[in-house]
Amino acid sequence: RTIAPGAVHVPDWLTTDEQRRLVEACRQWARGPAPMRRTVLPGGGRMSVRTVCLGWHWSPYRYTRTAVDVDGAPVPPLPGWLADLGRRAVADAYDDPAAGERYEPDTALINFYDRDARMGMHQDKDEQVDAPIVSLSIGDACLFRFGTGESRGRPYADVRLESGDLFVFGGPSRFAFHGVPTVFPGTAPAGCGPNGGRLNITLRTTGLS
């Protein structure tokens, strides 16, 4: 389950019940304040993925306390129970309870993918610290592409992420290139996920205050 040093995939980590509860929570967060939207990039293009943020708001390429590119609303806090889930995730993935206890995420980015959404190869480097990123997948499966070299190009490790899967990216993998080239429509298990499409929740530590 270790894809690269520090990159650990734990299939089927969330229970069906946890997935259902997370979907319901995401539905509420998506309504706003600062509702889920397609982020506009500096070049004028719109991302195909829809995003809503908790704790800190991400827009290209910075974190703010208000949704500066949506409606200016203050961003809802990151719930303590979600940070707790992140600590459990890190402890389980690294089989290291102490690593779990040290983990203090301050932000969640929730991405919604419809059947046509994709995410190009990129690095996450707007955070000021190198704490791990926790990723939870819910709903339709996707192809996740992880760059194992220094550039956005080959070599890749391609991994199919299914509903309930956990991925933790830390250590030498924290700043690796990664993307989501494909969503597989209609692959969500019954009762899991949004009504069509895929949700991904990432937990992050921005290092900001």
Residue placing its CB nearer to ligand MD3 in the complex, 3 or 91: 3
Asked if residue 63 binds ligand MD3 (CB under 6 A), the reply is no
**Scanning residues 128 to 147, which ones bind ligand MD3 (CB under 6 A)?**
133, 135
Q: Contact between 114 and Fe ion (CB under 5 A)?
A: no
Residues in the interface with ligand MD3 (CB under 6 A) total 15
Give residue 5's identity as a one-letter amino acid code: P
Q: Which amino acid is at 194?
A: P
Among 91, 105, 169, 197, binds ligand MD3 (CB under 6 A): 169
Closest approach, Cβ 43 to Fe ion, in A, equals: 18
Q: How far is the CB of 97 from Fe ion (least distance, A)?
A: 27
Largest CA distance in the chain: 44
Part in contact with ligand MD3 (CB under 6 A); list of ranges 23-31, 59-67, 169-177, 189-197: 169-177
Task: Decide: is 124 part of the binding site for Fe ion (CB under 5 A).
Answer: yes
Shortest Å distance, C-beta 66 to ligand MD3: 20
Of 178, 188, 194, 197, the one binding ligand MD3 (CB under 6 A) is: 178
| Interface contacts to ligand MD3, rule CB under 6 A | 109, 111, 119, 124, 133, 135, 167, 169, 173-174, 176, 178, 180, 200, 202
